[in-house]
Structure 1
């Protein structure tokens, strides 16, 4: 089963580039163990554009969809046999990137 593993940030701890080697090593381990499908960091929420085309014409709005203290900073997609494996890896991911992690299975 595949899982979306979201990295949640709140701008209170901007992180630093010194975490990148540990994150890269963690990603390499995920690849080697067959869990890694995809990963990517996201630009700041100020770079977001929301498109709403439910009406007569599309409306584009600058900024995030929701005003919130927390936001999505990056994602992984992992393939794993069960949720227990993913939760164990997610706990490691949280420590490695110093962020909260949300895990959701794909339907």
Structure 2
């Protein structure tokens, strides 16, 4: 079965207040439980804010290290889930669930297992 990455695009800035965030997180936990029960969940994780990132770029003689995200933008990847699905349509069906739960955009992309 193919694996897919569900990336959550999160707006930059502070998280919403608890009265907004708590119901969203409850719905996300319910989606994760549904994925696990269906045998589709592989693993997931949240990410620290983009200002905690370190980017490594190949230079002419060495790899350069810079702080912060690769690109400046108004949103960043805030978390991800890797799932198993028989095809893209099934993966998109799973991706719709966290999109509704979080009210945020979800990118669905097949993982490549080649070298």
| Same fold, TM-score > 0.5, yes or no | yes
Query: After the TM superposition, which parts of structure 1 deviate over 3 Å for at least 4 consecutive aligned residues?
Result: 12-15
Per-residue CA shift, 1:50-84, capped at 9, x if unaligned?
01234312211010011111211111101011111
Which residue does 1:47 correspond to in 2? 52
Cα deviation for residue 10 of structure 1 reads 1.9
Where in structure 2 are there 5+ consecutive unaligned residues? Answer: none
Q: What TM-score, normalized to structure 1?
A: 0.90
Aligned residues: 107
Identify the range of structure 1 (38-47 vs 52-61) with the bigger mean alpha-carbon deviation.
52-61
Tell me the distance in 2 between the aligned counterparts of 1:31 and 1:54.
Answer: 42
Which residue does 1:26 correspond to in 2? 31
Per-residue CA shift, 1:22-58, capped at 9, x if unaligned?
2112111101101100100111001010012343122
Residue 6 of structure 1 pairs with residue 7 of structure 2: yes
Tell me the distance in 1 between the aligned counterparts of 2:39 and 2:60.
Answer: 43
Q: What TM-score, normalized to structure 2?
A: 0.84
Q: Secondary structure at the match of 2:70?
A: coil
Tell me the distance in 1 between the aligned counterparts of 2:63 and 2:99.
Answer: 37
Aligned-residue CA RMSD in angstroms? Answer: 1.7
